[in-house]
Amino acid sequence: DIVITLDHEGRIQYSNRFAAELFGQAAHDLVGKNIAEIFPTKVTASQLASIQEVFRGGEAIDREARTLFPNSTIWLDTRLSPIKGVNGETTSVLVVSRDITQRKQAEEALQAANDQLNALINALPDRIITFDEDGRYLDMHSDLVAASHIYRQSPINQYLHDIEELPDEVADLVLSTIRQAIESDQLQTVEYRIPGDLIEWDEGRVLPLQKTVNGKRTVLWITRDISQQKVAEAQSQKYAEQVRLL
């Protein structure tokens, strides 16, 4: 860890060896220097503001920041703590910083991966919903609410049987398939018909997840409108029957 102490004006009173190495100097050479002499202006302004905050409030504060050093730029998780004299007034500030660059890089990589995944999901023709094992809606894309005649509003945190436009027999089938997927730990596929002004056939693929929410297993329900496929199948069967009767 980086350990230094600073006075009210930002002059270094003490520096450990690790802090000095980051500046390419010996620890005793840093003592007496103002942080304005060793950090860029933008960094210095932010650091001095934090130091003054500790002197004014007399309480420790925490900061995370990307920090520029002579030979590197790293992320630091820093705690600034007051050092108080016999009268209780803050006489200097103890600064302890830990290098969290690897953690920040991992967070950034994870965010980038999530962004790519969301972009891929949004580009798919399939509709993706996350349910728990009791058929409670946990997550779904907002565009699905607008595009579907089933949902008047977001169903998040509602249960399948709470959706008035979803027939009970369809809700029963979906819930049964969710539970089969969880019990078997295998992908389940089901086709079902949703009545309405426009009759819709859907194919649902249910992928069980290891993730739990409030102690409940979860699944991804991936649905695709197969109405045109069903119409084509019906027409094909009708044509085949006509040929058979000739």
Supply the mean pLDDT for the chain.
Answer: 83
Do β-strands 188-194 and 137-140 pair in parallel, antiparallel, or remain unpaired?
unpaired
Cβ contact 34:7 at 8 Å: no
Distances (CA, A) of 63 to 86, 111, 131, 133, 163: 27, 21, 38, 41, 46
Q: Mind listing the pLDDT tens digit for each residue in 212-230?
A: 999 999 998 888 776 676 6
Q: Which residue has the higher pLDDT, 22 or 3?
A: 3
The identity of residue 165, as a single letter, is: E
Rounded Cα distance between 163 and 156, Å, is 11
- Residue 145 is predicted with a pLDDT of 54
Rounded Cα distance between 104 and 100, Å, is 6
Q: Band the pLDDT of 39: cuts 50, 70, 90.
A: confident
- Residue 204 is predicted with a pLDDT of 85
Residue 178 has pLDDT above 80, yes or no: yes
Residue 233 has pLDDT above 60, yes or no: yes
The residue-averaged pLDDT of 64-86 equals: 86
DSSP string, 44-102: HHHHHHHHHHHHHH-S-EEEEEEEEETTEEEEEEEEEEEEE-TTS-EEEEEEEEEE-HH
Residue 197 has pLDDT above 60, yes or no: no
Residue 30 has pLDDT above 70, yes or no: yes
CB atoms within 10 A of CB 158: 14
- Residue 79 is predicted with a pLDDT of 93
Torsion of CA 150, 156, 161, 162, to 10 degrees: -80
pTM: predicted TM-score of the whole model, two decimal places = 0.50
* DSSP code of residue 34: B
93-102, 133-142, 145-154, 160-169: segment of lowest average pLDDT? 145-154
- Residue 138 is predicted with a pLDDT of 93
- Residue 244 is predicted with a pLDDT of 67
- Residue 154 is predicted with a pLDDT of 80
- Residue 122 is predicted with a pLDDT of 60
Q: Give the residue among 105, 130, 124, 91 at the shortest CA–CA distance from 208.
A: 130
Q: Provide the 3-class DSSP secondary structure of residue 126.
A: coil
CB atoms within 10 A of CB 206: 22
Q: Band the pLDDT of 126: cuts 50, 70, 90.
A: low
The residue-averaged pLDDT of 20-32 equals: 87
Residue 31 backbone dihedrals phi, psi, to 5 degrees: -60, 130
7-16, 68-77, 122-131, 168-177: segment of lowest average pLDDT? 122-131
